[in-house]
Homo-oligomer: A and B are copies of this chain.
Amino acid sequence: MENHRLQEALDSLKSTKVRMTPQRHAILEFLFNAKTHPTADDIYKALEGKFPNMSVATVYNNLRVFKEVGLVRELTYGDSSSRFDSNTSDHYHVICEDCGKIVDFHYPGLDEVETLAEHVTNFKVKEHRMEIYGACPECHKLKQH
């Protein structure tokens, strides 16, 4: 089923003028099969076996392209580097402040927040993001010793 989403992504790229290259295919494939939310460097390291000559620039370039087309979302947390998420459907992230684990979390109906924000600020609202911070079960258990 992950392959299904990947296939959809590949198809949607065909309809643009974005060329398909082996590197792009591999980056997309990795992102769509990833259970985690990898950094650019994670992706680079994961693919250096298959593409020993691939440049980091290629990873960054393509992540930007995928972002522009809407296939990928960039997550910027407090830590040093961005993470990338192929799941662009509406969901939020619960983040462990101790070990960095990120868990997806579905919650409906924050459209109301957007609507209210529009009225109060006169902005033309496009989207929102939310993260929930805390300790994952494992880290929490450790802290209680």
Contact = CB atoms under 8 A, between A and B. Distances in A.
A65 interface: no
Contacts of A118: 134
Contact of A135 (B97, B117, B126, B133): B126
Query: How many interface residues does chain A have, given as a range?
Result: 35 or more
B123 A135 contact: yes
The copy count of this chain in the complex is: 2
Nearest to A67: B78
Interface string A20-54: 00000000000000000000000000000000000
A18 interface: no
27 contacts: A74-B78, A92-B113, A92-B117, A94-B123, A94-B125, A103-B121, A105-B120, A107-B116, A107-B117, A113-B130, A113-B132, A117-B132, A117-B134, A118-B134, A121-B136, A122-B136, A123-B132, A123-B134, A123-B136, A123-B140, A125-B132, A125-B134, A126-B133, A128-B130, A128-B132, A129-B130, A130-B130
